[in-house]
Amino acid sequence: EVQLLESGGGLVQPGGSLRFSCEASGFTFSGYAMSWVRQAPGKGLEWVSSISARGGSTYYADSVKGRFTISRDNSKNTLYLQMNSLRAEDTAVYYCAKEARGGITIFGVVSMGNYYYYGMDVWGQGTTVTVSS
């Protein structure tokens, strides 16, 4: 069974740091790009960050650029999100998601590494961070 299991959430003070982990199983983790998406309480979905299959390319939303770092350890089938300088507006459920891979990179569609990706087809259950003093 394809599965993503997030961990690392909690309560943190403004300006603090936290690291999320997302352990993958049931698929060849090293073959797929991965992403983090968050959802503030009662709000919609917001893309946070993505990383290519081998980890050589990373992408960030402007709202987290310079504060968050996405990484992966393919030997451990694990995706990470290091969050620094946390703000109240970072309070959300954070989901990790597997990217559904299409073919070789084509013009006009987001690509990571040598492939384009057309959606997020597997999601974790989410982990929550609350940033509050």
- Residue numbers of the site for another protein (CB under 8 A)? 35, 37, 44-47, 50, 59-62, 95, 97, 100, 108-110, 117-121, 123-126
Element containing residue 19 per DSSP (H, E): strand 18-25
Q: How far apart are CA 42 and CA 55, in angstroms?
A: 32
Q: CB-based burial of residue 113 (10 Å sphere; 0-12 exposed, 13-18 middle, 19+ buried)?
A: middle
Query: Considering beta carbons, is residue 16 or 122 the nearer one to another protein?
Result: 122
Residue 95 beta carbon to another protein: minimum distance, rounded to whole angstroms: 5
Q: Which amino acid is at 88?
A: A
Query: Considering beta carbons, is residue 84 or 123 the nearer one to another protein?
Result: 123
Query: Considering beta carbons, is residue 16 or 126 the nearer one to another protein?
Result: 126
